[in-house]
Amino acid sequence: MNEDDSKKTGGSFERDTDYIPDRITHEGRRPEHGPADVPLWPVEAGRYRLVAARACPWASRAIIVRQLLGLEDVISLGLCGPTHDLRSWTFDLDPGGVDPVLGIERLQQAYFARFPAYPKGITVPAVVDVPTGQVVTNDFPWITHDLFFEWREFHREDAPDLWPAELREEMEAVMKRVYTEVNNGVYRCGFASSQDAYDAAYDRLWTAMDWLEERLADRRYLMGETVTEADVRLFTTLVRFDPVYHGHFKCNRQKLTELPNLWRYARDLFALPGFGDTVDFDQIKTHYYSVHRGINPTGIVPQGPDLSVWTEPAGRHS
């Protein structure tokens, strides 16, 4: 994602959530859930490219879900570098700084190919239609939702049930609280521009963190004994908490490593294929400390913390 287009009201950070609403659905069907009358694209193996960045928590959701479901050979993955300027995320990790499939240097080019005067921020994750080079959607909650519900025919046989039917209503409520209070809550702390706004954001964040610590006292994952989309959404914030949010965003009541249940839970997820092996701590730190010059004017990237602790056994299965 790119926080540059978000706004502040009375010193409080408000995320701009006006994304390209298109959906990719099985045979271009009208989905049962979500906004009506959005443009629809058909599921088609090999047609789309997921453009993401390992630095971005919102994009990391899509990277994780794509791998968990076994869609690597069905939807290709383009990775941007950890930093961006006001114009766009760039493909500086690729030879010559050009995405080898799309043939572009900036993700902005895919947005402009469809919307020549696109007025908003160029965000990841984005799904791009390879034949036309045009962006399809950057609506990150629906991207992962539809990877599960609409691409089922391409899932690997042992893919996890990320949206269990019997848990879906409760899971939606949990994910809503995780998003508003934790995923976005750390940003409200970091980008607050008044003391009152920061204090309110900090209190909201830690109320939610305490709720999660208690919830995980007697269950392995957020919804019980199996991994769901709710865990994916929480993990991308937790894995960035000590390296970035604790200090850089002033979320510093405690470190994640000082919260026993959340810390064991996060390491448990980190050890699973699709989670820890998609994380790049160097890119994460480089992104936040280099791009957010309003918070870190020098652009200095700290050496700590010690990240080897993530590979220590969690023992959550017991």
The pLDDT, as a whole number, for residue 18 is: 86
Whole-number Å distance between alpha carbons of 92 and 105:
8
Whole-number Å distance between alpha carbons of 260 and 254:
11
The answer on pLDDT for 50 being more than 90 is yes
70-110 residue pLDDT tens: 999 999 999 999 999 888 999 999 999 999 999 999 999 99
The pLDDT, as a whole number, for residue 315 is: 67
The pLDDT, as a whole number, for residue 14 is: 86
Domain-wise residue ranges, the chain: 3-154, 165-278
The pLDDT, as a whole number, for residue 30 is: 87
Active-site pick, 56, 80, 189, 251: 56
What is the CB neighbour count within 10 angstroms for residue 196? 11
The model carries a pTM of 0.95
The pLDDT confidence band at residue 8, using thresholds 50, 70 and 90, is low
Cβ pair 244, 285 in contact under 8 A: yes
What average pLDDT does the structure give for the chain? 95
**Could you tell me which residues come within 8 angstroms of residue 115 by beta carbon, excluding any fewer than 6 positions away?**
135
- Give the residue, 13 or 206, on which the prediction is more confident: 206
Percent of the chain with pLDDT over 70: 96
Cβ pair 113, 133 in contact under 8 A: yes
Query: Among this protein's residues, is 189 annotated catalytic?
Result: no
H/E element holding 241?
A: none
Q: Could you check whether 3-154 and 165-278 share the same CATH topology?
A: no
Using DSSP's 3-state secondary structure scheme, residue 221 falls into strand
Active-site pick, 187, 198, 288, 289: 187
The domain 3-154 is placed in CATH, from the list 1.10.1060.10, 3.30.360.10, 3.30.460.10, 3.40.30.10, at: 3.40.30.10
206 is in an annotated binding site: no
Whole-number Å distance between alpha carbons of 205 and 184:
9
Lowest-pLDDT choice from 28-37, 56-65, 179-188: 28-37
The pLDDT, as a whole number, for residue 56 is: 98
**Could you tell me which residues come within 8 angstroms of residue 203 by beta carbon, excluding any fewer than 6 positions away?**
none
The answer on pLDDT for 262 being more than 90 is yes
The pLDDT, as a whole number, for residue 33 is: 82
Q: Which CATH architecture has domain 165-278?
A: Up-down Bundle (1.20)
Q: Tell me the residue type at 293.
A: R
The pLDDT confidence band at residue 1, using thresholds 50, 70 and 90, is low
Cβ pair 43, 151 in contact under 8 A: yes
The pLDDT, as a whole number, for residue 87 is: 82
| Residue tagged 């990240």 (tokens) | 307
Please give the average per-residue pLDDT across 185-209, as a whole number: 98
The answer on pLDDT for 317 being more than 80 is no
The answer on pLDDT for 34 being more than 90 is no
Note if the bond before 21 is cis, omega within 30 degrees.
Answer: no
The pLDDT, as a whole number, for residue 196 is: 98
The answer on pLDDT for 152 being more than 60 is yes
- Which residue blocks in the chain are alpha helix, DSSP H? 57-68, 108-114, 140-149, 168-177, 185-190, 195-215, 229-240, 260-270, 281-291
The sign of the dihedral angle between the CA atoms of 222, 226, 230, 233 is positive
Percent of the chain with pLDDT over 90: 88
The pLDDT confidence band at residue 133, using thresholds 50, 70 and 90, is very high
